[in-house]
Amino acid sequence: MSQTKMLKVRVTLFCILAGIVLALTAVVTDHWAVLSPHMEHHNTTCEAAHFGLWRICTKRIPMDDSKTCGPITLPGEKNCSYFRHFNPGESSEIFEFTTQKEYSISAAAIAIFSLGFIILGSLCVLLSLGKKRDYLLRPASMFYAFAGLCILVSVEVMRQSVKRMIDSEDTVWIEYYYSWSFACACAAFVLLFLRGLALLLFSLPRMPRNPWESCMDAEPEH
């Protein structure tokens, strides 16, 4: 592999590493979406919530003069619990109303698949560093691209879950917005998918410029 192509591969791998960090951050944090309830004029506090793939956190926040709930960063009493289908022994009635079980399990499972592809891709990259196994960069690039696609699907499943929670009559939430964990997941998709395809292009052998180039470059027979 030429020096120019090796430099491109290294830059691409650095971008992929950034995508891996963002993907891990999105999976382990619980700020995918922030939910706000319907407010009554006589209330002095409100209970906002934010959640991720594994758990939901509620926070009791003092209301301001505008009678709006939030922002979620305000100080208040916080209570976090894992979703009941991930922790059956935990008693938390809020999960029966504020999460759609099928959507939550699907988003988490797809995110796990994404991490699995990331691990496989990283193993291929590590193996390619020894004894100049450049051909291992090609399966690594595909694993990273598949990881990005899985993250995209997980993001869409989570988006549908939030929409169903807002539209449901069994919940108190009427307003929502996506938070920084959701942004991390979207950025991870862009970096992993696009840079995975770029890594595939950079790792492919150079095609001959003309039909007889490979013959001209061949070593003479003795």
pLDDT single digits (tens) 8-58: 888 999 999 999 999 999 999 988 888 877 666 556 677 777 888 888 787
Query: What's the number of CA atoms in the CB half-sphere (13 Å) around residue 144?
Result: 33
| pLDDT on residue 208 | 54
- Is residue 102 within 8 A of residue 85, CB to CB? The reply is no
pLDDT single digits (tens) 163-183: 877 776 666 667 788 889 999
| pLDDT on residue 11 | 92
Alpha carbons 93 and 172: distance in angstroms, whole number: 13
Alpha-helical regions (H) of the chain: 3-28, 95-98, 101-129, 137-167, 180-203, 213-217
pLDDT single digits (tens) 74-117: 666 677 776 665 554 444 444 444 456 677 788 888 999 999 99
Pick from 49, 47, 7, 56: nearest CA to 29: 56
Could you give all domains of the chain from N- to C-terminal order, each with its CATH number? 3-203 (1.20.140.150)
The pair of structure tokens assigned to 16 is 């992929």
Pick from 205, 193, 191: nearest CA to 137: 205
pTM: 0.78
Token pair 């709006």 is found at 68
* Max Cα-Cα span within the chain: 97
